[in-house]
Amino acid sequence: MGKFKIVGGNKLHGSIVPQGAKNEAMQIICASLLTEEKVTITNLPNISDINNLLSLLHDMGVTVERYSENEVSIQAKDIDFSYFETEDFSNKATRLRGSVMILGPMLTRFGKGYLPKPGGDKIGRRRLDTHIIGLQKLGAIFENADKCQIAITPPDGLKGTYMLLDEASVTGTANIIMAAVMAKGETTIFNAACEPYIVQLCRMLASMGAKISGTGSNLLRIEGVSKLRGTTHRLLADMIEVGSFIGMAAMTGSELTIKNAGIKDLGMIPNTFRRLGIKMEFIGDDIYIPQQDHYEVESFMDGSILTIADAPWPGFTPDLISIVLVVATQAKGTVLIHQKMFESRLFFVDKLIDMGAQIILCDPHRATVVGLDRTQQLHAVKMASPDIRAGVALLIAALSANGTSIIENIEQIDRGYQNIDKRLFDLGVDIERIND
């Protein structure tokens, strides 16, 4: 188990390049199972969740070659189906939420797939209904086994159909798309997720020979093909990292440039931070954040308290709710943070309260933040990272705090942020990784 030792109060300076998008990478890696030809992925983040998924594919019999820290090739020519019956597969897949997206490609290409209980962040209920129901509508048959569900394709294969998804699940939509691209006939998916990650997945599949229309909307039409070819795909910049760096600059009153930020794919993220009073300029594809000693929260036109809530794309991403909440603690004004999608994601605010933040946790989904306007600096405490995004939120709080903070369980942060301590050190942060 490792921990970060952070001496707060230092300003950031210089520029930083965000890593490739973790959430997109999980889908793209799984999509490589759809062809026996080589798929090359660039701008791939070197983080534990991604490496664990690549390791899982390798154990399945997939050839994985790493050309550099951020470039790999994947070739799923042969699959060892006996591996799915092992304890090792069950353990590895269960620890990794992205493993659920192996199911769609396996079903449509090989006629059989395995669905272990997925892992990932403990942030509340994360249903798999969308995945299972969507695949069942394509014809998949699910059977319960000891440690996982086994899904089987009928002898005549998956067949295209119309479906209305019960929720616009990103991973659910991705799984269904990957199964549908090689199903017979046309599949229509209504209420599909339309995040940039899904757009990127569709573009990649199109370059492999898939026939998909409606990309970027919530209505997708997919004409099944018999075979897909290899391709090369470059991941977008990670929008969650971009938002995290904006939050870091604001909380520490720093001047920072985020280079190659993928501005056109950020959606509501810049405007949401601007509503907290954070200034930024777009220079080409870079975001320049000037030094601000104070930032003031906007109020609604009728004078009521600003509410920031997550929502399916193009709404504000739930992965940045934790970051926005921390940033609000040093703003001038009051903000209601409403985390609609996950009921356990706000519980980390107890640590912020221990640091001196003025926060009222109304219920598992809502917290009212009374900004201190830097009149009272947060103070350092010892804390543990409960999940990826809360971990980085606590890291941001520690950067602005008075004194030396200790963050334990940093393995959670490493799951989503590549070499975060080294990259922040280069920006002037006094941070040290301690391995127990």
3-state secondary structure of 58: helix
Give me the amino acid identity at 313.
Answer: W
Among candidates 80, 11, 9, which has minimal Cα distance to 427?
Answer: 11
DSSP-assigned letter for residue 305: P
Catalytic residue among 59, 80, 121, 166: 121
Give me the amino acid identity at 67.
Answer: Y
Q: Is 375 exposed, middle or buried (0-12, 13-18, 19+ CB in 10 A)?
A: exposed
CA distance readout (Å), 159 to 10, 77, 139, 214: 58, 24, 6, 20
Phi-psi region of 6 (alpha: psi -120 to 50; beta: other; left: phi over 0): beta
The verdict on whether 121 is a catalytic residue reads yes
Contact by Cβ (8 Å): 149, 100: no
Contact by Cβ (8 Å): 202, 24: no
Q: What is the residue-wise DSSP string for 193-229?
A: ---HHHHHHHHHHHHTT-EEESTTSSEEEEE--S---
3-state secondary structure of 2: strand
CA 98 to chain centre: 10
CA 151 to chain centre: 26
Q: In what order do the strands lie in the sheet with 286-289?
A: 15-16, 256-258, 286-289, 281-283
How many Cα atoms are found within 13 Å in the side-chain-facing hemisphere of 41?
A: 32
Contact by Cβ (8 Å): 89, 83: yes
Q: Which residues are catalytic?
A: 121
